[in-house]
Amino acid sequence: MMNIDISSLEAAINGKTEIEALAILADTFPGKVVFSSSLGYEDQVITDFILKNKLDIEIFSLDTGRLFNETYMTLQKTNNRYDAKLKVYYPQTDSVEALMSTKGPLSFYESVENRKECCYIRKVEPLNRALKDAKIWITGIRAEQSGNRHDMPQLEWDEAHQLVKFHPIMRWTFEEVKNYVKSNGIPYNPLHDKGFVSIGCAPCTRAIQEGEDFRAGRWWWEDESKKECGLHAK
């Protein structure tokens, strides 16, 4: 059951800059605001907001065990740049061992159900642990990333996790994100320079071609309507 007045929060952050809004949320819910980073362009912008301004927001990342080496490099460079230590969550060892032993390393190509099972084990369950005591979940979601996200509000109640989600750069364009990263010298995943827009697990991510949808490089063998991993399910 919702125990946070979203209308009051919306009024408090209305007209504020992204950094000011993040600071208000951090001050309102001390120690209860977290940011999930996949170390992509968008998340590096928000990481810069938080660390440069020393906001009381914990930054964490999910290591699925199937990430690109370039993603690990970006994590290390980010920690070095800001003298920080981003928290990392891993999937439960027993669950990964059971999946690999019974279905093999590439079961996610065989069916949507298998892919969602893999996503649950490697991403959703660790995320649930990361959000366990949080009141506010910050994300790098942008409206233009997919049709599913086009009409998302900037501040919303997440029924599944019983907390409020805030998407500070929801209305930013991809060009605005890139320009901010480049102009501020923020470390970023070099795969972005090779046509990778949305970067997840290596077996499930490819570069996109000019004119393709932002999410076309994720789970490209599936129908567009199924291209969510469960992290942002209602």
Catalytic residue ranges: 229
Contact 108, 118 (CB under 8 A): yes
> Strand pairing partners for 58?
34
> Strand pairing partners for 35?
59, 138
Closest C-alpha among 60, 54, 40, 216 to residue 123: 60
Closest C-alpha among 126, 137, 118, 107 to residue 63: 126
Closest C-alpha among 201, 186, 112, 127 to residue 158: 127
Cα separation, 61 vs 74, in Å, equals 12
Q: What are phi and psi for residue 36, nearest 5 degrees?
A: -95, 120
Cα separation, 142 vs 128, in Å, equals 22
> Strand pairing partners for 88?
61
Going by C-beta distance under 8 Å and a sequence separation of 6 or more, which residues neighbour residue 188? 41, 44, 74, 181
